[in-house]
């Protein structure tokens, strides 16, 4: 379970044109919820995920992940709770290291890494099974430096890495935006499958209204640092891409009116 309590996040607090990226947000995400987040550019989606991951420190408010008060935990101190996939396929993997070595580090997410050689043939075989399930034919390339793989292959592996050790929450920030349509679809289906299989709690940011309507069991729409729509259950299932676009148009009209 995730709880965000009256959270405010500000950038450039010490300069005149400070930006309040999150305005007093309160949000509860229950176990096994798959939350899709949409919103225009600069509405605070990434900041919300970064606050959960610990790479952005909130100015006010609390963040609880599972039974842990994570508000003051730095990103690397809460990594055992959080799995992440980034928008940029280069961000999630160590390029000069092999597929197996990357997976080994992911298996050790949030636990101390000792002076022992543990990456043996038996363990690599174990990883191979998981990699085969991605359906990308990467199981024969465990010794390949990951930087030689395509963006889609890397994103799929990053997804596997983020879930290899079960996270309390999986954070996906437009993780298919940099991929070609075919790879994007493949990675999305994989995302859905892994979340289902491991019964994960997940938050996924997307710009694609079709994706937002198709995936997840709860939808948040953000605008100017606030959550302006929160739909779950049947209400979420009833959302259509067209309907979501209409909501965006409404918001834009209201904003224009306000000025």
Ligand X SMILES: Nc1ncnc2c1ncn2[C@@H]1O[C@H](COP(=O)(O)OP(=O)(O)OP(=O)(O)O)[C@@H](O)[C@H]1O
Integer Cα distance of 175 and 44 in angstroms: 16
Residue span 78-107 as binding mask against other proteins, x where in contact by CB under 8 A, dash where not = -xx-x-x-x---xxxxxxxxx--xx-xxx-
**What is the enclosing helix (H) or strand (E) of 197?**
helix 181-197
For residues 137-157, b (16+ Cβ closer than 10 Å) or e, as one string?
A: ebbebbeebbeebebbbbbbb
Only segment of 37-45, 76-84, 130-138, 219-227 that touches other proteins (CB under 8 A): 76-84
In the set 42, 66, 110, 151, which binds other proteins (CB under 8 A)?
110
Which two structure tokens, joined as six digits, stand for 149? 């793989």
In the set 20, 43, 46, 153, which binds Mg ion (CB under 5 A)?
46
Closest CB to other proteins among residues 24, 140: 140
Closest CB to ligand X among residues 19, 228: 19
Closest CB to ligand X among residues 47, 158: 47
Q: For residue 170, report the phi and psi dihedrals to the nearest 5 degrees.
A: -105, 125
Only segment of 40-48, 94-102, 132-140, 157-165 that touches ligand X (CB under 6 A): 40-48
- Residue 226: CA atoms inside 13 Å, Cβ hemisphere, count? 6
Closest CB to other proteins among residues 105, 228: 105
Of the candidates 231, 232, 234, 226, the one whose C-alpha atom is nearest the C-alpha of residue 251 is 226
Q: Is 53 in the site for other proteins (CB under 8 A)?
A: yes
Q: Is 122 in the site for other proteins (CB under 8 A)?
A: no
Integer Cα distance of 164 and 133 in angstroms: 13
Q: Is 108 in the site for other proteins (CB under 8 A)?
A: yes
Least separation in angstroms between CB 145 and other proteins: 5
Sequence-distant (6+) residues with CB within 8 A of 14 are none
Q: Is 175 in the site for ligand X (CB under 6 A)?
A: no
Q: Is 166 in the site for other proteins (CB under 8 A)?
A: no
In the set 35, 47, 175, 186, which binds ligand X (CB under 6 A)?
47
Residue 75: Cβ-neighbour burial (10 angstroms; 0-12, 13-18, 19+):
middle
A 10 A CB-CB count for 92 gives 21
Integer Cα distance of 101 and 95 in angstroms: 10
The site that binds other proteins (CB under 8 A) totals a number of residues, namely 37
Closest CB to other proteins among residues 104, 218: 104
Contacts with other proteins, residue ranges (CB under 8 A)? 53, 55, 75-77, 79-80, 82, 84, 86, 90-98, 101-102, 104-106, 108-111, 113-119, 145, 162
């Amino acid at each position: 379970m995730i709880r965000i309590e009256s959270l405010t996040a500000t950038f450039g607090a010490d300069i005149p044109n400070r930006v309040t990226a999150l305005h007093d947000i309160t949000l509860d995400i229950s176990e096994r919820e798959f939350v899709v987040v949409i919103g225009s550019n600069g509405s605070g989606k990434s900041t919300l995920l970064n606050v959960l991951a610990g790479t952005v420190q909130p100015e006010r408010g609390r963040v609880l992940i599972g039974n842990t008060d994570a508000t003051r935990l730095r990103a690397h101190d809460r990594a055992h709770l959080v799995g992440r996939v980034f928008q940029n396929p280069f961000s999630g993997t160590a390029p000069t290291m092999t597929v197996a070595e990357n997976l080994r580090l992911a298996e050790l997410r949030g636990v101390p890494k000792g002076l022992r050689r543990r990456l043996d043939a038996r363990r690599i075989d174990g990883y191979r099974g998981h990699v085969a399930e991605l359906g990308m034919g990467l199981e024969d390339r465990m010794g390949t430096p990951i930087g030689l793989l395509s963006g889609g292959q890397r994103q799929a592996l990053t997804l596997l890495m983020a879930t290899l050790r079960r996270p309390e929450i999986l954070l996906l920030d437009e993780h298919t935006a940099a991929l070609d349509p075919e790879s994007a679809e493949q990675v999305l289906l994989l995302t859905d499958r892994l979340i289902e299989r491991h019964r994960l709690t997940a938050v996924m940011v997307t710009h694609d209204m079709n994706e937002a309507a198709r995936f997840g069991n709860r939808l948040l729409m953000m605008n100017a640092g606030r959550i302006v729509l929160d739909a779950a259950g049947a209400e979420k299932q009833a959302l259509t891409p067209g309907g979501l676009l209409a909501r965006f148009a409404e918001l834009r009209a209201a904003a224009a009116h306000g000025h």
